[in-house]
Amino acid sequence: MKPIVADTDDRRWQAVCERDTRADGQFVFAVLTTGICCRPSCRSRRAQRENVRFFADVAAAVAAGFRPCKRCQPDKDYPQQQRVDKVAQACRLLEQDAPLTLEALAGQLAMSPFHFHRFFNPSPA
């Protein structure tokens, strides 16, 4: 997926309106009325344009007095990287000699068996 060019506030706002995941990592937006900063792809209710400010990164938004969104967690690794890390950790556990049940393996990764199973059997897109 090719990243977008979000070099103006109008393009950034368009990315926010479209919840474009390609813009994640290029900037964050903050909402004056809530005091929260989010990724462009955040699924939270869209704010009014006049209440939105753009920042280069989460650190700049936090320095300006905003807190990271609890839904999209812009201060954390990107969801794709979290997924890769969990899968790699599961593979390392499976390479060990001790047999593991689904419940035990999920527990080692701090996940429920249901969510762990979904990692390896994602629904078709």
Domain boundaries, given as residue ranges, for the chain: 9-68, 79-120
**How far is it, in rounded angstroms, from Cα 85 to Cα 124?**
21
CATH code, residues 79-120: 1.10.10.60
Which of 46, 39, 45, 115 has its CA nearest to residue 73? 39
- Find all residues with CB under 8 Å of 91, minimum gap 6, and list them: none
Task: Note whether 9-68 and 79-120 share their fold.
Answer: no
**How far is it, in rounded angstroms, from Cα 64 to Cα 102?**
45
CATH topology of domain 9-68: DNA Methylphosphotriester Repair Domain (3.40.10)
pLDDT tens series, the chain, 125 aa = 566 767 799 999 999 999 998 899 899 999 999 999 999 999 999 999 999 999 999 999 999 999 999 999 999 876 666 777 888 888 888 888 788 888 988 888 888 888 888 777 766 55
Residues in the chain, how many?
125
Catalytic residues: 38
